[in-house]
């Protein structure tokens, strides 16, 4: 009976998903549109450090702290910005506070402070 219980426990452990901090290398497998329930266009607040700014694609890569309202762990990822002017005055290495909302193709930054 103990061997059966141990085998059952082992099998269930293998099928349980684990959360790990994500990086840009494996963000392609994460469905950003189905992460946590978000009523309407809820505004989520976060902080992080700018790692890269792509002005041609209007994308900023941020190493952000956990975002509790989305149930996201700390990770580094790229976000589109709602307006290109949000990229003015920011630089790589700068710590920022930002706001994001769910858009049609993922989360979009609507404010940077």
Q: What is the DSSP string of 63-110?
A: EEPPBGGGTBPSEEEEEEESSGGGGTT--TT-EEEEEEEEETTEEEEE
Mean of pLDDT values over 23-38 = 45
Mean of pLDDT values over 58-85 = 97
pLDDT of 18 over the 70 cut: no
What pTM did the predictor assign? 0.66
Q: What are the two backbone dihedrals, phi and then psi, of residue 84, each rounded to the nearest 5 degrees?
A: -60, -30
**Which residues lie below 8 Å from residue 70, measured CB to CB, with a gap of 6+?**
35, 36, 38, 44, 107
Report domain 2-112's class.
mainly beta
Least confident of 19-23, 44-48, 57-61: 19-23
**Domain residue ranges of the chain, discontinuous segments joined by +:** 2-112
96 vs 1: which has the higher pLDDT: 96
pLDDT of residue 40: 60
């Amino acid at each position: 009976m103990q061997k059966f219980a141990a085998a059952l426990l082992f099998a269930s452990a293998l099928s349980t998903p684990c959360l790990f901090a994500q990086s840009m290398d494996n963000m392609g497998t994460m469905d950003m549109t189905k992460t946590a329930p978000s009523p309407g266009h809820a505004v989520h607040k976060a902080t992080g450090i700018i790692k890269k700014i792509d002005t041609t694609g209007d994308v900023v890569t941020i190493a952000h702290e956990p975002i509790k309202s989305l149930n996201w762990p700390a990770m580094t990822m790229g976000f589109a910005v709602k307006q290109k002017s949000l990229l003015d005055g920011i630089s790589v290495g700068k710590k920022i506070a930002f706001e994001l909302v769910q858009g049609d193709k993922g989360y979009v930054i609507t404010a940077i402070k």
